[in-house]
Amino acid sequence: MLIQINNVNKNFGDVPLFDEASLSVNAGDKIGLVGMNGTGKSTLLKLISGEELPNAGSVSRKKGLKIGVVAQNQALSDEKVMDYLLASFEDVAQLKEQLSSLEIQMAEWTGDLEKTLLRYGKLQEAFDAMGGFSLEDRILTTLRGLGVEDKVEERLSALSGGERVRVELARLLVSDSDVLLLDEPTNHLDLSGIRWLETYLRNAKKAVLIVSHDREFLDAIVQKIVEIEDGQLIEYRGNYSTYQVLKKARDEQLQRDYDLQQREIARLKKLVRQYRQWGHDGENEDFFRKAKEIEHRLERMERLKAPVIVKKRVKKQLTQSAKAGKEVLVARQLGKVMGEKLLFENASFTIYKGERVAVVGENGSGKSTLLRLVMGELEADEGELKLGESTAVGYLPQNIEFAHPEQRLVQYVKDFMGNEQKAREELAKFGFYASDVSKRLKDLSGGEKVRLYLLQLFQEEINLLILDEPTNHLDIYAREEIENILAQYQGTLLAVSHDRYFLKKNFQKTLQVGDGKILKFEELVL
């Protein structure tokens, strides 16, 4: 056993996150951590790593255990990527520095060259014996898998935020840690990077704990799901799909047990009342004594809790009245260059009414540029991209912002619907009920922002809905709510997403962007 969590209590401010929670982590375990946002997934990783301490209970770790985490605060540095990654291996890094110093001396022909060459050779042998060359190969392989191999000689300060996150992930993967703690590791990865990471983690001999809302990723890697529910850590054997089946069965059994106990409690309370009534009517102390015995029995009874079931909030059927022509979007010999990079050329395809098309490709291939061309934000360098007759476009951006974040939800919707009653009715269709409508826009969760934005788009009677990474930063439950809305949408869908579970559930066709081309497939190709 590597890690043992025993009866841990942990509060976030005054809010209890864990209540006598327990968990064991063994060598080779591949565990997925799931739960609604705010239930304590990231806090659990911090308890395991020792970054935070429990309020009660204990977290025990095997002596000498090495736990690897991605650093949250990534300090700016002018260090090169390779040097930064090698620095995790102190002895290897010191030899690498000495070798670099000697290389400079030899290049400048300073000092005794023969003596320097001899020393350089010995250092190389020591570097090789310590695994330095194989480590460099491993680092390059990892960077290549994560799509940042070309950044190996760049300085950290020159990297974008997403590139820096991938370098930090590479640093964790090549470390000699016994346990890897991964918090949303697929963020900033394209589909090829996600598939590479899946293969790496599946074959890793290390124990891995993953917080992820990527259901396909969890399916591919984990053998156990741990759900944080009502302050407890509930374990399910199997991957995410198996967990869904087991959780449903567990919830149904818990509900049956709860209902049965509630009926028994009601029966016993009724019996108490009867015995007391009979005692008063007949002035018989035996009846009062029996009533008291049943009351003690009720007091000693361990009360069961009803299962925590996340109900589907979006219930009503959405209507779609805007009609489009047969051809919704037509591209002929389309070409686009951004900076000095040719994204695509001679691209021709047609998207027809009612099609659900996923736009896929590696980071930087031109997916988002294609969306901007469709919306008219950019112009093609060659060819043409035309919307079909009567096509009305709605766009869901990756990052949703509101002009007046202090505004209340019901007022925001009233402004474009013109009537508060209609606003409340439409809010209810999208899962916003009486307790929600007075929220300020700035206090909405990621999933709530997406639902609200879709509500507004659908008032415009759109028939081509364009989505740019719609599930980013949403928990699994919010993703399912968005999928429920899209299942009811009758128009044409065009979306960029790396969420394969989402794509498989909502899309049937593909636009593949890459290698200077855009190819349309009549099936989903991921």
Domain range summary for the chain, segments of one domain joined by +? 1-66+177-238, 76-158, 252-300, 327-521
pLDDT band, residue 120 (cuts 50/70/90):
confident
What are the residues facing 210 on neighbouring strands? Answer: 32, 182
Question: How many CA atoms lie within 13 Å of 25's alpha carbon, on the beta-carbon side?
Answer: 30
**Helical (H) or strand (E) element with 94:** helix 90-108
- Distance of CA 311 to CAs 37, 110, 314, 480, Å? 15, 75, 9, 11
Q: Give pLDDT, residue 112.
A: 67
Contact 54, 10 (CB under 8 A): yes
Question: Tokens 């605060």 map to which residue?
Answer: 73
pLDDT tens per residue, range 442-491:
998 888 898 899 888 888 888 899 999 998 878 888 888 888 888 888 88
- d(CA 384, CA 350) in angstroms, rounded, equals 12
Tokens of 169: 């992930």
What is the value of pTM for the model shown? 0.82
pLDDT tens per residue, range 251-283:
999 999 999 999 999 999 999 999 999 988 888
Tokens of 247: 């959780």
pLDDT tens per residue, range 340-368:
899 999 999 999 999 999 999 998 899 99
Model confidence at 318: pLDDT above 60: no
Q: Given 3.30.830.10, 3.40.50.300, 1.20.1630.10, 3.30.300.30, which CATH number is that of 327-521? A: 3.40.50.300
Model confidence at 322: pLDDT above 70: no
The set of residues, in sequence order, having a beta carbon less than 8 Å from that of 344 and lying 6+ positions away, is 334, 335, 336, 366, 370, 513, 516, 517, 518
Q: Give pLDDT, residue 136.
A: 83
Residues in the chain: 526
- d(CA 474, CA 479) in angstroms, rounded, equals 6
Q: Give yes or no on whether 1-66+177-238 and 327-521 have one common fold.
A: yes
Q: Give pLDDT, residue 246.
A: 97
Homologous superfamily of 1-66+177-238 in CATH? P-loop containing nucleotide triphosphate hydrolases (3.40.50.300)
With H, G, I as helix, E, B as strand and everything else as coil, classify residue 166: helix
pLDDT band, residue 228 (cuts 50/70/90):
very high
Beta-strand pair 207-211/56-61? unpaired
pLDDT band, residue 494 (cuts 50/70/90):
very high
Q: Give pLDDT, residue 209.
A: 97
Question: How many CA atoms lie within 13 Å of 375's alpha carbon, on the beta-carbon side?
Answer: 18
